[in-house]
């Protein structure tokens, strides 16, 4: 499912900001957004543009140019939304009145495409890009957990009090390795890559001997994880070699994700690294889930105790659900992520 970057939302709350006369903080879904005083009232409908949104370079958004102007790898110019702090208040995303062209829109509508909003993708270093074999395979789902701020209001699953396991969310590049009918492939987030000894993805695959290991299972399977190490996102974890820490597996023939136990068994059998498991059995809070999980996300990385971790991924043990909580401290300190 494509991420809902721009949507019609209802203002749930508006609160003053200490020491600020012209701005207030509004709550939409699980997000806090700084807006002009008297621009919105509780109950109003508005357009919410989530962090990571890349807004078109149109007059409507020109006020964002000093802070938000970016150019993507494909040459598109526009304005990228990220986490900021204004008068001590964290603000994530942008709220605007509903334009006349969307006068018939209702709460919950996804207006990402109609407003020409796309996800911001930072330029990919040459050693990571590789030669393209084709688009990401249709027989494997991509990995992109929903953020807790959206999940808590939009999911049909009530996660309060549920049993879960928690892993660290690593700051790297999305990596997928698969074997299907004896064909072995390596993919980045959106593309399948041709074999190339100079490409970081294939270097990591060879470092881990992935082709032989996956073939030894004699089944159609995909393993997905995060490529980390030298040349990848500043090598936050100070690793000497590029490698992959895996966080999920997919049974291609059965058309389903592996359970935590199945994934752990496969990775142990193949002697492949798993992302750091922070909690094997964790009971989610029954109140203030968003606030509690965002607080939990703020800690040092298990791979490098000198670095702040990006966040955590939470997956159900007995009920199927998953979401991510990204550390606001990490977002405010990182120049490229939100």
Tell me whether residue 338 is in a domain. Answer: no
Three-state DSSP state, 136: coil
Residue 130's pLDDT is what?
74
- For residues 303 and 277, membership in a common domain is answered with yes
| Whether residues 74 and 185 fall in one domain | no
Domain contains 194? yes
The strands making up 163-169's β-sheet, listed across from edge to edge, are 277-283, 163-169, 311-316, 322-326
Token readout for 178 is: 């698969």
- Classify each residue of 306-333 as buried b or exposed e, where b means 16 or more C-beta atoms within 10 Å of its C-beta: ebbbbbbbbbbbeeebbbbbbbbbbbee
Give pTM, 2 decimals.
0.86
CATH classification of the domain holding 274: 3.30.470.30
Its domain, for residue 274, covers 126-333
Structural element, H or E, at residue 72:
none
Residue 320: which H helix or E strand, with range? Answer: none
Q: Tens-of-pLDDT digits for all 338 residues of the chain?
A: 467 899 999 999 999 999 999 999 999 999 999 999 999 999 999 999 999 999 999 999 999 999 999 988 778 899 999 999 999 999 999 999 999 999 899 999 999 999 999 998 877 666 676 788 999 999 999 887 899 999 988 888 899 999 999 999 999 999 999 999 999 999 998 889 999 888 899 999 999 999 999 999 999 999 999 999 998 888 999 999 899 999 999 999 999 999 999 999 999 999 999 999 999 999 999 999 999 999 999 999 999 999 999 999 999 988 889 999 999 999 998 655 44
Specify the number of domains making up the chain: 2
Q: What is the pLDDT of residue 75?
A: 84
Q: Is there a single domain that holds both residue 37 and residue 132?
A: no
Residue 74 per-residue DSSP state: T
Per the CB < 8 A criterion, the answer to whether 32 and 91 are in contact is yes
22 & 156 share domain? no
Helix, strand, coil fractions of the chain, as percent rounded to 5: 20, 35, 45
- Residue 132 belongs to some domain of the structure: yes
- For tokens 């929903």, name the residue: 146
Q: Report pLDDT for 336.
A: 54
321 and 214 in one domain? yes
Q: Is residue 308 part of a domain?
A: yes
Q: Are residues 268 and 175 in the same domain?
A: yes
- Regarding whether 324 and 204 lie in a shared domain, the answer is yes
Contact 32, 13 (CB under 8 A): no
Q: Of 119, 151, 174, which residue constitutes the final position of a domain?
A: 119
Please say whether the beta carbons of 11 and 33 come within 8 A.
no
| Residue 159, in any domain of the structure | yes
- Same domain, residue pair 162 and 97: no
Alpha helices in the chain (DSSP H): 65-68, 126-129, 148-154, 200-207, 210-215, 260-270, 289-297, 328-333
Sorted by sequence, the CB contacts under 8 Å of residue 288 that are 6+ apart come out as none
257 inside domain? yes
**pLDDT of the residue at 337:** 47
Phi and psi dihedrals of 103, rounded to 5?
A: -65, -20
CB 13 within 8 A of CB 41: no
Residues 187 and 312 reside in one and the same domain? yes
In this structure, the answer to whether residues 187 and 313 fall within a common structural domain is yes
Which residues make Cβ contacts (< 8 Å) with residue 315, sequence separation at least 6?
Answer: 164, 165, 166, 167, 260, 321, 322
Closest CA to 11 of 37, 34, 38, 40: 40
The verdict on residue 1 lying in a domain is no
The reported pLDDT for the residue numbered 2 is: 63
Judgement on whether residues 220 and 254 belong to the same structural domain of the protein = yes
Q: Kindly state whether residue 156 falls inside one of the protein's structural domains.
A: yes
What is the phi/psi pair of residue 292, to 5°? -65, -40
79, 104, 119: which is the final residue of a domain?
119
Q: Are residues 181 and 112 in the same domain?
A: no
Boundary of a domain, candidates 88, 119, 150: 119
**Region of residue 64 (phi > 0: left; psi between -120 and 50: alpha; otherwise: beta):** alpha
d(CA 204, CA 218): 22
């Amino acid at each position: 499912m494509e991420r809902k970057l721009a949507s019609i939302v209802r203002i749930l709350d508006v609160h003053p900001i200490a020491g600020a006369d012209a701005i207030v903080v509004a709550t939409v879904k699980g997000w806090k957004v700084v807006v002009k005083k008297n621009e919105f009232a509780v109950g109003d409908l508005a357009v919410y543009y989530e962090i990571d949104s890349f807004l078109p370079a149109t007059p409507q958004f020109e006020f964002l140019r000093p802070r938000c102007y970016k150019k993507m790898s494909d040459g598109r110019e526009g304005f990228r939304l990220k986490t900021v702090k204004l008068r001590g208040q964290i603000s994530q995303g942008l709220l605007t009145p509903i334009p006349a062209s969307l006068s018939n829109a209702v709460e919950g509508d996804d207006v990402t495409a109609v407003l020409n909003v796309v996800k911001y993708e930072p330029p990919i270093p040459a050693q990571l890009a590789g030669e393209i074999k084709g688009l990401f395979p249709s027989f494997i789902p991509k990995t992109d957990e929903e953020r807790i701020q959206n999940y808590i209001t939009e999911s049909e699953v009530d996660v309060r009090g549920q049993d879960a396991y928690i892993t660290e969310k690593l700051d790297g590049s999305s990596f997928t390795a698969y074997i299907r009918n004896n064909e072995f492939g390596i993919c980045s987030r959106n593309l399948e890559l041709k074999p190339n000894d100079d490409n970081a993805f294939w270097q990591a695959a060879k470092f881990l001997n992935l082709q032989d290991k996956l073939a030894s299972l004699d089944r159609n399977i995909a393993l997905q994880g995060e490529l980390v190490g030298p040349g990848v996102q500043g090598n936050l974890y100070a690793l000497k070699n590029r490698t992959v820490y895996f966080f999920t597996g997919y049974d291609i023939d059965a058309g389903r994700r592996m359970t935590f136990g199945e994934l752990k068994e496969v990775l142990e059998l193949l002697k492949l690294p798993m992302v750091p498991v922070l909690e094997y059995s964790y009971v989610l809070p029954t109140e203030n889930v968003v606030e509690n999980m965002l607080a939990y996300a703020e800690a040092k990385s298990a791979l490098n105790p000198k670095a702040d971790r990006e966040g955590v991924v939470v997956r159900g043990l007995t009920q199927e659900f998953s979401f991510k909580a990204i550390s606001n401290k990490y977002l405010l300190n990182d120049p490229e992520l939100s």
